Amino acid sequence: MFFDPMYFVAIAPALLLAGWAQWRVHASFAAASREPAPLTGAAAARHILDSAGATEVEIEATPGTLSDHYDPQAKVLRLSPEVYGRKSLAAVGIAAHEAGHALQDAHGYSLMAVRNAAVGVANFGSNFGLLVFIAGVALAMQSVAWAGLALFGAVVFFQVVNLPVEIDASNRAKAQLVALGIVPAADMPAVNRVLNAAAWTYVAATLQSVLTLLYYASYLNGGSSDDR
């Protein structure tokens, strides 16, 4: 059996970091949601986009909790209900972050283009990479197992590229919120806590994908003492 409890030991740092980051996101978002802002999340995003000349990007409400995202294919920024129509520091912070992605797209940010190009391969690798690896181990065909890990490597590549993209979007958001007078500088700490906590979730996801790849690669290289 190639899979053993040591896998959870191997990725434990990522799991602990992910749990802490998720707690920080919800705690900081809840706290910042109680702090008023002059604009709704949708209005803040519209102001940021229009000020940067990205007037073609549309803004829509989307169901779900913290389901906010930017769709580069449709050129649509989708905001969850607690962000779209709320006048809070949490709402304008999250909306500004997603607007930051739209600005990356509009201004040709190179890592954003790489990330967008890698999405399809990463999704395929996430769905089938480890399945191919399992099949290779079960059939005692190391070449197939390595091929599965290579497919999963696309997930690692995506996460490594995605991390600086997310950090850059947050940096753009923070700068625009202050520059456009949406959030006074004195109120930015609450916004920073929300966006910084969100950034740690991407750090955790990247770490988990890297540790997973290393764990299974060490298995193929004889790192496990289990009977295979």
Cβ burial, residue 68 (10 Å; 0-12/13-18/19+)? buried
Residue 169: name the closest of 87, 89, 105, 117 by CA: 105
The helix/strand/coil state of 60 is: strand
Among residues 35, 82, 98, 166, the one annotated as catalytic is: 98
| Residue pair 68/80 in contact by the 8 Å Cβ criterion | yes
pLDDT tens for each residue of 2-23: 556 888 999 999 999 999 999 9
Q: How far apart are CA 151 and CA 216, in angstroms?
A: 13
Q: Is 98 a catalytic residue?
A: yes
pLDDT tens for each residue of 113-140: 999 999 999 999 988 998 999 899 888 8
| Residue pair 133/103 in contact by the 8 Å Cβ criterion | no
Tokens of 2: 């190639």
Q: How confident is the model at residue 227 (pLDDT cuts 50, 70, 90)?
A: very low
Can you give the pLDDT at residue 3?
A: 54
Can you give the pLDDT at residue 111?
A: 96
Can you give the pLDDT at residue 127?
A: 86
| Residue pair 112/105 in contact by the 8 Å Cβ criterion | yes
